[in-house]
Amino acid sequence: MPPKYRRVLLKVSGETLKGDKPFGVDYGYIQCLAKEIVEVVHLGVQLALVIGGGNFFRGSSAAQDGFDRATADYMGMLATVINALAMQETLESLGVVTRVQSALMVQQVAEPYIRRRAVRHLEKGRIVIFAAGTGNPFFSTDTAAALRAMEIEAEVVLKATKVIGIYDKDPKEHSDAVFLPKLGYFDVLSRKLKVLDSTAITMCMDNRLPIVVFDLKTPGNLMRVILGEPIGTLVSGE
């Protein structure tokens, strides 16, 4: 079966990378994730990644504890660089050429973000990992994912989570939460369904970029989404 999508942006939270650990990176889990990504790339899919940094540092939480918000967000951006390098090392150990592009200048460990260069890497079959968010405080990595997806002309944003998709309320707190397989952008915004932040949703809506929210913890789900199976929740203008 041919893939439904040829160029995708996969958004993975830092919290996902820590697996069952309280902090840092679960190297066993990141290895499993890397293997699934490699299988997708071997289908000819051009794949870019945006990884959060919440397993090391979360800027918004630090700001609530008294940190200057801009400083806290920059610290969070640096945490995403750590995760990007961990993912790059794991992917390249599996034989896939990978490039990290950072919105902050860290030339010793990553390329600067240059859109045309990123697209060229993808065209050559390389995986591109976008680190340091947008390079600006007050913007989340969800917004960075939406922005980079549009810049590289991705066909879809894949938002990886720990649940099967979007519910009408938090399934961890409400046993009667109802799973929603399809939603419009306005539905997500008006119902304040906190899966991506409102800025990211609005950007995708304005540019008619679909979003698939799905459970990354289930082995094989990434491939199923790429092949077009009805996995997770589709957010679109339809």
Model confidence, pTM? 0.94
Residue written as token pair 């051009």: 46
Distances (CA, A) of 39 to 103, 123, 151, 156, 178: 28, 17, 25, 18, 32
Given a cut of 90, is residue 61 above it in pLDDT?
Answer: no
Given a cut of 70, is residue 238 above it in pLDDT?
Answer: no
CA 121 to CA 99: how far, in whole Å?
A: 8
Q: What is the mean pLDDT of the chain?
A: 93
Q: For residues 221 and 194, which has the higher predicted lDDT (pLDDT)?
A: 221
Provide the pLDDT confidence category of residue 196 given band limits of 50, 70 and 90: confident
pLDDT reported for residue 149: 98
Q: What domains can you pick out in the chain, each with its CATH number?
A: 7-236 (3.40.1160.10)
Q: pLDDT, tens digit, for every residue of 5-30?
A: 999 999 999 888 888 888 889 999 99
Order of strands, sheet of 233-236, starting from the edge strand that comes earlier in the sequence: 111-112, 98-102, 127-131, 46-51, 7-12, 156-161, 211-215, 233-236, 182-184
Percent above pLDDT 90 for the chain: 78
Given a cut of 70, is residue 187 above it in pLDDT?
Answer: yes
Q: pLDDT, tens digit, for every residue of 109-151?
A: 999 999 999 999 999 999 999 999 999 999 999 999 999 999 9
Enumerate the β-bridge partners of residue 51. Answer: 12
